[in-house]
A and B are shown apart, each in its own frame.
Chain A
Amino acid sequence: MNNEILLLFGCGLLLMMLGVYLLVLYRNLIRLIIGVEVVAKGVTLIFLAAGLFRQDIAFIQSLIVTFIIVETVLAAVMLALVVGVHRIYGSLDIRLLSKLKG
């Protein structure tokens, strides 16, 4: 069982790294949101590994449900912002968002 937990944890960590890779290296706003989503999938896997480690699936399930709600609201608001940015700038390139500079 410990090996399975480590495997789940390692896979979650790998997904988080790939999400951070998307966040750091891409300039397209939609790809950045997909990076956030990939990080969220990794976090869900790590949650599951933690629940298996504590042998308390019921508690971790409720945390995962809460996390999915947070993830969904975050994605919806970010995608609405992307549509707004597209209407104003006509581009999804983050380098053009110069009006955000202080």
Chain B
Amino acid sequence: MLLWVLLGLLVLLTVGACVFRDLLYVAVSLALVSAVLAGILFHYGANIAGVFELSVCAGLITVLFVSTVGMTKDSDQGDETRMGRGFIPLVLLVFIGLDVLILRWLGSALPSIVPGAGSGSFQNVFWNLRSADILGQVVLILAGVFGISALFRLKVKEKKHE
């Protein structure tokens, strides 16, 4: 029952992110989607992933979105959509229909649950089995930091030329 409520909330909030006109509401809606997703992760015992989802996606990314919306508020937002917003319920119905068709096919094609070998605890997987990936993640974070700093440095140089 709890899963149904959480998944229903998730879809409703995602539709809200598609429908709202104000970008601030869209950002808040996305944050709530992340919070509900974190709830689903907690429900299945994926606690560490849930904490990450809640703190990084619902927290950090929302702050980034809200500050970007604030910085670009004075800009021309352009025509919002190629289709009117009235089509969204129709689009949602089509998507749900497609989803049901795919699930029906998958339900018959999917074998019963296949238990894996079991990797032990999260700590074992993260620090031992996937230790090489940690290096990749550090490089990725550094790439993001350098990318953002390069973008802002470019703006400072442009201002000096002016």
Contact = CB atoms under 8 A, between A and B. Distances in A.
21 contacts: A2-B110, A2-B113, A7-B7, A10-B100, A17-B99, A18-B14, A21-B18, A25-B83, A27-B80, A28-B80, A37-B61, A41-B34, A41-B37, A61-B122, A64-B46, A75-B65, A82-B72, A83-B71, A86-B71, A86-B75, A91-B75
A71 B79 CA distance: 27
Interface string A64-83: 11101111111111011111
A61 B48 contact: yes
Nearest to A95: B78
B32 to A, nearest CB: 11
B116 A54 contact: yes
Interface of A: 1-2, 4-11, 13-15, 17-18, 21-22, 24-28, 30-31, 33-34, 37-38, 41, 44-45, 48, 51-62, 64-66, 68-77, 79-84, 86-87, 90-96
Interface residues on B, range: 35 or more
B148 A76 contact: yes
